[in-house]
């Protein structure tokens, strides 16, 4: 499906530096990954983060010391002085406690000890501890990694053999996860100049079918980079897939018929600008929807994530430079970035959105819904790595309004292909692998006269 096009494709333009991720067993400072030649040792105080040598440990100490002290304090409260945070994991699991619940309790306790919310890296550290895959033993003296992926650990050969059949299914994905981690940590997230995968412009609309793999070309350039790039491509493909099931307006207009589409994404706390604001992300919709000529993308985000100054009244817009085929069809893509939707809503350039496209709709404390349009003509599409996050949004929404589920909550066939290794059992298969945009659901609000009391923030 993805072959036979003359569309020009530039490979990587830059690598965008982002917050370095964390992988249990890799050096927290320089991000060297473990191998037979690279030996990584844990922090002797907390045993939660890892270094390839004393030099990296010294460089990282300014960042790590408060977290190290807090985790040690929590460990002492749980298991006594001189203990480590994961020391009690094995006993708790043997007594019947779910490991996910154990980690959640640990994260809450450490956050309380720090007297603040955990940051991204701290959360990742506690979500993905280095423990035996079978019994959750955390003793570094006995833990042995899988010699292929270095992402799974065992306390004994017996447990390695016990997990062999299951691990063999996912070892390759774990290894790809490790390579993606190293790429992003050392170079940054790859950003191409134009569309990273060649998708031909279709003359006749074809309904979405298959999975992400059917819509990309696996280049010989670097499969690790390709896996990272699918995190961008997943958004337009997922949205088209959802709108095929939901429709536009009140469900009477099909996505294949639209000539102009306005998308509103208004995550309260997800850093969407880095992904959704990229020019090449949205061009795929023009290639797959032959009647579409104008695409407006509005990104509303908390100002705390911006790496540039953008005051509450500012609307930062840019027109995307499209490929030659899209130019010949006189297509246009406009991306607008703002922190105050009400300012835009009252401006001369305002356009009512055709669809709201979010990762979630709840505030950080999960008490309020975060979307500006209680309008039955504007459907809502949610995508998220975690099924539970979408379900939490449902719980809040049901308290505020009634809605019809037109695309049931399901695994997203167009989720990204970059694997994320984690112990927390958020994924239905229980394999410990997550993917960006892994779950998707499509909703339509019921008409106001069919609803009870609706309390929504229309000003955002």
**What is the band of 71 on the pLDDT scale with cuts at 50, 70, 90?**
very high
The average pLDDT across 15-40 equals: 79
Could you report the per-residue pLDDT of 118-136, keeping only the tens digit for each? 987 888 889 888 899 999 9
CB 78 within 8 A of CB 113: no
Handedness of CA 219, 222, 228, 229 (dihedral sign): negative
**What is the band of 270 on the pLDDT scale with cuts at 50, 70, 90?**
very low
The average pLDDT across 77-104 equals: 88
Q: For 189, left (φ over 0), alpha (ψ -120 to 50), or beta?
A: beta
**Taking 60 as the threshold, does the pLDDT of residue 90 lie above it?**
yes
> What does the chain come to in residues?
460
HEC readout, 203-228: CCCCCCCCCHHHHCCCCCCCHHHHHH
**Taking 70 as the threshold, does the pLDDT of residue 423 lie above it?**
no
Distance, in Å, from the CA atom of 287 to the CA atom of 14, rounded to the nearest integer, reads 24
Which burial class, exposed, middle or buried, applies to 420 when counting CB atoms under 10 A from its CB (0-12, 13-18, 19+)? buried
Distance, in Å, from the CA atom of 177 to the CA atom of 80, rounded to the nearest integer, reads 35
Q: Pick 14 or 315 by higher pLDDT.
A: 14
The average pLDDT across 347-374 equals: 69
Distance, in Å, from the CA atom of 134 to the CA atom of 163, rounded to the nearest integer, reads 7
Per DSSP, the chain holds a count of helices (H) and strands (E) of 12, 16
| Cα radius of gyration rounded to whole Å, the chain | 23
Most confident of 249-253, 324-328, 396-400, 401-405: 324-328
CB 17 within 8 A of CB 214: no
Predicted pLDDT of residue 439:
94
Q: DSSP string of 32-71?
A: PPP-SS---EE-TTTSSSEESSHHHHHHHHHHHHHHHHHH
The average pLDDT across 265-277 equals: 59
Distance, in Å, from the CA atom of 186 to the CA atom of 217, rounded to the nearest integer, reads 25
Kindly report, as residue ranges, where domains of CATH 3.40.50 are found in the chain.
195-450
Reduced to 3 states, what is the DSSP secondary structure of residue 154? strand
Contact partners, residue 9, CB within 8 Å, separation at least 6: 192, 194, 195, 196, 197, 198
The CATH number of 195-450, from 2.40.10, 1.20.1280, 3.30.70, 3.40.50, is: 3.40.50
CB 146 within 8 A of CB 167: yes
Task: Give, as one character, the DSSP assignment of residue 309.
Answer: -
Contact partners, residue 313, CB within 8 Å, separation at least 6: 340, 343
The average pLDDT across 406-414 equals: 94
Per 3-state DSSP, what percentage of the chain is helix, strand, and coil (rounded to 5)?
A: 35, 15, 50
Task: Give, as one character, the DSSP assignment of residue 183.
Answer: H
Q: Pick 88 or 428 by higher pLDDT.
A: 88
**Taking 90 as the threshold, does the pLDDT of residue 198 lie above it?**
no
CB 171 within 8 A of CB 207: no
Could you report the per-residue pLDDT of 433-450, keeping only the tens digit for each? 889 899 999 988 776 544
Q: Pick 23 or 229 by higher pLDDT.
A: 229
CA angle 88, 91, 93 (to 5 degrees): 105
Task: Give, as one character, the DSSP assignment of residue 83.
Answer: -
- For residue 91, CA distances in Å to 37, 79, 138, 226, 440 come to 33, 11, 11, 41, 36
Q: Pick 80 or 193 by higher pLDDT.
A: 80
| pTM of structure | 0.81
Predicted pLDDT of residue 197:
77
Report the Cα–Cα distance between both ends of the chain, in Å, rounded: 41
What's the chain's average pLDDT? 80
């Amino acid at each position: 499906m993805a072959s036979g096009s003359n569309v020009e494709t530039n490979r990587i333009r830059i690598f965008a530096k982002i917050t370095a991720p964390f992988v249990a067993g890799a050096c927290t400072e320089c991000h060297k990954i473990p191998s037979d030649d690279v030996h990584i040792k844990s922090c002797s105080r907390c045993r939660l983060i890892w270094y390839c040598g004393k030099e990296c440990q010294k460089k990282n100490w300014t960042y790590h010391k408060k977290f190290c002290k807090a985790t040690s304090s929590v460990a002492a409260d749980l298991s006594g002085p001189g203990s480590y945070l994961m020391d009690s994991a094995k006993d708790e699991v043997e007594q019947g406690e779910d490991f996910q619940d154990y980690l959640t309790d640990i994260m809450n306790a450490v956050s309380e000890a720090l007297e603040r919310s955990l940051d991204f890296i701290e959360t990742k550290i506690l979500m993905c501890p280095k423990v035996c895959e079978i019994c959750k033993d955390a003793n570094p003296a006995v833990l042995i990694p899988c010699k292929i992926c270095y992402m799974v650990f065992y306390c004994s050969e017996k447990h390695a053999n016990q997990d062999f059949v299951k691990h063999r299914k996912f070892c390759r994905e774990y290894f790809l996860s490790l390579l993606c981690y190293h790429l992003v940590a050392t170079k940054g997230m790859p950003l191409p100049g134009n569309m990273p995968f060649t998708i031909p412009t279709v003359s006749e609309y074809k309904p979405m079918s298959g999975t992400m793999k059917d819509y990309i070309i696996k280049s010989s350039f670097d499969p690790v980079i390709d896996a990272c790039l699918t995190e961008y491509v997943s958004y337009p493909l997922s949205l088209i897939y959802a709108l095929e099931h939901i429709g536009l307006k009140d469900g009477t207009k099909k996505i294949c018929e639209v000539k102009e589409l306005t998308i509103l994404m208004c995550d309260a706390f997800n850093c969407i600008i880095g992904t959704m604001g990229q020019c090449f992300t949205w061009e795929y919709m023009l290639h797959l929807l032959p009647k579409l000529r104008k695409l407006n993308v509005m990104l509303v985000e908390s100002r705390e994530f911006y790496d540039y100054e953008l005051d509450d009244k500012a609307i930062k817009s840019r027109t995307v430079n499209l490929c030659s085929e899209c130019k010949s069809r006189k297509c246009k893509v406009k991306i607008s970035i703002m922190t105050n939707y009400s300012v835009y809503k009252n401006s001369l350039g305002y356009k009512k959105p055709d669809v709201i496209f979010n990762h979630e709709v709840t505030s950080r404390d999960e008490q309020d819904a975060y979307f500006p349009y209680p309008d039955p003509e504007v459907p809502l599409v949610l995508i998220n790595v975690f099924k539970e996050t979408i379900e939490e949004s449902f719980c809040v929404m049901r308290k505020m309004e009634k809605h019809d589920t037109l695309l049931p909550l399901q695994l997203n066939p167009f989720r990204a292909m970059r694997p994320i290794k984690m112990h927390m059992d958020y994924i239905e298969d229980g394999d410990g692998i997550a993917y960006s945009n892994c779950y998707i659901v499509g909703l339509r609000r019921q008409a106001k006269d069919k609803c009870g009391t609706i309390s929504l923030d229309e000003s955002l």
